Structure 1
């Protein structure tokens, strides 16, 4: 099937002497109705003359709920307690969410053409009818199994056609009883599991029933190319710069001949002006897998993860030429790179290498872009870009969700984010632990799903769909448990070996093969807020697949999905050590800050709570990544944060909210994950440098100083240093002097690295508590009057410079935003090269904001700081 084309090319015309090849989506003009009202057969409904007068507009790709929401039949389930107002399928029965979807479209056939209909995802079962004829011989099942039909002979000569699809919910919908995956029965299907509820989301009431992914019409000549496979071999240890030794490209593809006669032609692959080809004959009504001669690519431009090198992608194409005419063509962007996974005997964990260079994994756990499967190219691009901006280099696709879409992988290829792709299973539902919330015991759940053959067929299909993306680095059997042996063994030893064979397969996400767990427990976590020094001194698992902390946004983030009566700050009881929270907060899975707000002073209201929470957020995630980096290659080979995004309006584990508004977690991580970084070890009060690049860094001047609450500076020293590639080292201890300077009211600690041109290459500002552990000085710090300059440097790009006069205090923790000039509400998404910034006395800082203008009216810049007044500034 044709799903490897880039997401912005929905159809194209190739050169002369070529059939007018077209891809286009059937993504508008659909109508739907419930089977509770419609009793006619599919052969009748799919007849163009059948009346749809009382049918409603449908969202395709989408689900029953997205259609109901679009037609205002339900309230937005992401807002407040609205989800409780929507009937759950466990109580209504499956028929309530079983729907017909109908699409009228114009298409006719010219001589020599073949027309194909592709479904990239239906949840869960379906029957498909076109112009009064049923396309599938038996009911199709499986959320992840694609479908393809040659519809050439069924198209009307008039060009007027009707497609009708009946979509049935999952066979087992599960009881959403509050457990992880509800009662676990949702895992009996080959589908996603979170829809019955999890500790970060409430149940999705229709379990995402619908035509949830793209429906595509494709036109070819008499020969059809399917599932091309591109392998790039990059032997030896490479560097991002300089001339490269050759790389080998291996190409194979399936070639289909639907006609009644044998067809002879030429199959070819072209990249960077080079071409390999083979003369082949395809028997009638058959599909053959053809391997082309290897292609040697001289001096290739390589693809690297972000922070290590460029993400070069070569446009390439696979063609079949029949009688001098291009019958079919696949366009593929090829990233030339090779992934290796080796055992590190020091850490006792796997280490990942790209092009022969080991890469310290700084990752995030990704659930799904939208819990109701409302995917867009723009949202995928924005979310992956945010992860690039966090200076991360890997995303793990959690096993309770899905195989991510090609559009997601396009974004990861573009931004240099490696991907660890789980298959569909989780220890919570699939029987790893005893659980009184589950319907079946462990022995029964261990055999989930019911249809093992469907799982394997779906896995093979999804591997073919995404195996060519250079960002895909690791396959994982499932989340926190192995798949049943009669699934895992053929998947690992037969299917992946045959269909890919180039990537490491780890049997489950916290397997000893990934990270030897000599400490006991489950091999992941902790998940809650932690003392900062613990990130440095507590030795967790050497390749930790899940560790995380808090992540509540500020007031403006919270008011997007809460009513005014629910905008109430949590109240912490210092005696009981517990928080009291509003019921809507609890419903949206709030994870507590405990007593960590208190050192900044008890929150006066929700605005104050949100402001102080951002200080905690920043510190938590900066220290998390610094703590792991401090022990790079001796304790750890990687860490994957649980989790970095929310596909629902959840109040835990997020660097930005569902509406794509970043919070301070993102920028604390951006700082702590920087490729070249100077940092303060919170456990032993030493200054350290970490170098997450392949370059030896020479002649770096480190500079350390403190600034008190009135702006007075005290030098702690400076000296030249150097650091090797992919290394962390301690520079100097500052133990006693720091404690003495901070004991009264706390102090700011400024650490910087400068190059020989005196340019700052790493800049890190800490705020340290007083001897009682409180940030007492921050509550008395004087106001800072600062200068602000703005200018538009290009369309959709704004530059803001903050200037803090000498003898001022530090202008501390400033949040910048772009806002609508009328409503003063934030424009979303906006990408900042830094945020929550502080400006030292006598200095200035410049931030660049990148956004997509939606009107001719220029936005305003909003500024709000800890000791800087809130203000709105026009853009020059």
Structure 2
């Protein structure tokens, strides 16, 4: 049960049979070194001391006793122990701080997530050396095997990447009468992960002694399990760009350990564990238990326990992994969970485990402390604030989201034949998810009732990006503003295994959707947030440092852009701090649709954060009494249809590209030169001759609005080789916006 696509795309006909990770053969001497790991214990009070414990297994493959030296090199630290192995013996070795004071590290470089610090990494070289038998007296012939080993070591050392030289220092050295029987390199990070239960019994997580709000998405590998390195790196850089700090792997994804290595380097946390496809009969293909799933027999329990052990041994040195999920929707059978816990206690006590990612209670370890109560289909923005029983902003929601995220028109044209592009039909449904998520019915109803049904596919995609942005921003903002009552949120899903219309922050082709920029906006380190339930304006600082002295500006505009409310507030926030600035009062003579503009400014007036909401005098009304595991219905939709009556605005823009290396920096200056609102502006970065988007693209902002006369600068970057020798072109679209590029 390592992987499974469950219901988010078509199931592979062969059920993912076969070898889909590399098979390697290692050549060693008579003693092999296996399963090395480093366990770090950090003093979280001072962050100035860490204790390391090094574990490994030595196996004597010969028929004679073997004695040798186990050596461990960590930068300037070098320790060793004599080891004697009986014939065929397997021996577990522990190098501890109690026996080797050098393993107490002063002022360690600490691994942090990218939003809190630097993800520092160390490299350990561990080897086992045996003595070369002394040649008989008078023999002049050199030991050819010894010379070959020396040459092999030098050749290996020469292959080390230049960028790793400072970390590696040197490979195991060969002395005159020593033979290296086996050696391995282990990259690891010094960090401390703990879980806790808040006053309401919700489970949260701490990194290096600090409470963190888990903010991430659900990952999937490519449908054909052929993830390319370049695309993989781009996808993980997207997570960092969206200000996310975590990804959930429902399954032990990865055709190699490349993804885990990249997350270590980029400072992204990983939630790793079993998929729900072994818990339900329609996915597993055999009868299951409603409490414990499909792993029931002693034979299956033994097999899965061994599989779990192998996965953990493979991945446990990655500091990015913060929890092992022992089950997804259900809990393991008690006999199986006890096997899991026994192994983790012995071989990986450095991180917690979850008995389930659902709201379950295990007879072995008690309540999971997390929830998986939906929704999975479209809900309005206020849901995340108003819901108090299911998916709302409390506790740790391990998978949830506002349903479909239809991509932009360019991507839609790549996956659907031109003759089937409009109106939505079975070709569209083919690219939806499975089961009850096989259509866009609820999403389309929300679009029709809130925004008005579009006349063509281009208008549909424009309104879709508004729904995507609004819905995703609200979900993440609700959890950010209500931390640490809310302890975590995993958007279902993060990416796509194939071209689809559901559950994605960017599409299969790496094109960001409105949801991408809604997530980025909501997770800004310094941010102003509107609470749809209480009408409060909340200032949030997710960063690890105190803010400078700032000021917050809150304004409300009618649909004719007359200012109806204005208030300024001094602002200074502690690390991980938040503050309620005000509650919007009842404002007389508001139009049916009105706008809320929130800004954080420096003392000299420089813009630090901007957030713009389109609100209705009569908000969406949810029918909580009819809630199901996948959706809460809407009794009354907010009426935003007057957006279709906005007068045409005119926006002028110019742009430039700078940078001498592979990374090119893009600056786009925009100005609304009209007296109208330029609503929901979409910047497109294109390869001009090919007439297709330049991807991946990393813009600081998109799907934003400009007030009359407002100027805004949007920055971003891209990689030169992705331009493929083409010319760059910038286009600007908007909701009834006339865009004009001026001289650069």
Q: TM-score range by the shorter chain?
A: 0.7 to 0.9
Which residue among 231, 236, 243 is the counterpart of 1:384?
A: 236
Which residue of 2 is the match for residue 780 of structure 1?
Answer: 646
Which residue of 2 is the match for residue 508 of structure 1?
Answer: 356
Which residue among 298, 317, 321 is the counterpart of 1:468?
A: 317
Deviation, 1:300, is 1.2
Deviation, 1:221, is 4.7
Relative distance call for 1:807 and 1:863 in structure 2 (3 A) is: closer
Which residue among 647, 656, 667 is the counterpart of 2:506?
A: 656
Moved over 6 A (4+): 435-438, 513-519, 870-874
CA deviations over 1:628-682 (Å, ceiling 9, x no partner): 2232223x22222222222122321100112221111111011112222111112
Relative distance call for 1:749 and 1:283 in structure 2 (3 A) is: same
Deviation, 1:607, is 1.5
Which residue among 255, 259, 270 is the counterpart of 1:419?
A: 270
Q: Which moved more, 1:216-225 or 1:699-708?
A: 216-225
CA deviations over 1:80-113 (Å, ceiling 9, x no partner): xxxxxxxxxxxxxxxxxxxxxxxxxxxxxxxxxx
Which residue of 2 is the match for residue 248 of structure 1?
Answer: 51
Deviation, 1:490, is 1.0
CA deviations over 1:347-405 (Å, ceiling 9, x no partner): 31112011111111222222x22122112332332222222222222222114x64784
Relative distance call for 1:427 and 1:331 in structure 2 (3 A) is: closer
Which residue among 190, 193, 201 is the counterpart of 1:336?
A: 190
Check the 8 A contact 1:711/1:808 in 2, yes or no. no
Deviation, 1:474, is 0.6
Report matched runs for 1:63-102 at 5 Å: none
Relative distance call for 1:611 and 1:698 in structure 2 (3 A) is: same
SS in 2 for 1:784: strand
Check the 8 A contact 1:229/1:468 in 2, yes or no. yes
**Partners of 1:216 and 1:516 in 2: how far apart?**
40
The unaligned stretches of length 5 or more in structure 1 are: 1-189, 239-243, 572-579
Which residue of 2 is the match for residue 690 of structure 1?
Answer: 540
The unaligned stretches of length 5 or more in structure 2 are: 98-102, 132-174, 619-637
Relative distance call for 1:376 and 1:348 in structure 2 (3 A) is: same
Check the 8 A contact 1:517/1:523 in 2, yes or no. no
Deviation, 1:705, is 2.1
Which residue of 2 is the match for residue 862 of structure 1?
Answer: 731
**Partners of 1:437 and 1:304 in 2: how far apart?**
38
Check the 8 A contact 1:554/1:610 in 2, yes or no. yes
CA deviations over 1:811-866 (Å, ceiling 9, x no partner): 33332333222221113322333332334433221221223515333433333233
SS in 2 for 1:638: strand
Relative distance call for 1:861 and 1:448 in structure 2 (3 A) is: farther
TM-score scaled to structure 2, two decimals? 0.81
SS in 2 for 1:451: helix
SS in 2 for 1:853: helix
Relative distance call for 1:517 and 1:747 in structure 2 (3 A) is: farther
Deviation, 1:529, is 1.4
Which residue of 2 is the match for residue 835 of structure 1?
Answer: 702
Which residue of 2 is the match for residue 751 of structure 1?
Answer: 598
**Partners of 1:208 and 1:454 in 2: how far apart?**
18
SS in 1 for 2:238: helix
Relative distance call for 1:260 and 1:865 in structure 2 (3 A) is: farther
Which residue of 1 is the match for residue 443 of structure 2?
Answer: 593
TM-score scaled to structure 1, two decimals? 0.69
Which residue among 329, 332, 339 is the counterpart of 1:480?
A: 329
1:393 aligned onto 2:245: yes
SS in 1 for 2:327: coil
Which residue among 494, 516, 522 is the counterpart of 1:672?
A: 522
CA deviations over 1:540-579 (Å, ceiling 9, x no partner): 35222122112111111112222122212439xxxxxxxx
- The count of corresponding residues between Structure 1 and Structure 2 is 657
1:363 aligned onto 2:363: no
Deviation, 1:616, is 0.5
Which residue of 2 is the match for residue 584 of structure 1?
Answer: 430
1:725 aligned onto 2:575: yes
Greater share of residues in helix: 2
Check the 8 A contact 1:704/1:752 in 2, yes or no. yes
Deviation, 1:608, is 1.1
Which residue of 1 is the match for residue 3 of structure 2?
Answer: 192
Relative distance call for 1:830 and 1:496 in structure 2 (3 A) is: same
Which residue of 1 is the match for residue 227 of structure 2?
Answer: 375
Check the 8 A contact 2:357/2:371 in 1, yes or no. no
**Partners of 1:682 and 1:445 in 2: how far apart?**
39
Which residue of 1 is the match for residue 126 of structure 2?
Answer: 318
Relative distance call for 1:531 and 1:857 in structure 2 (3 A) is: closer
Check the 8 A contact 1:478/1:509 in 2, yes or no. yes
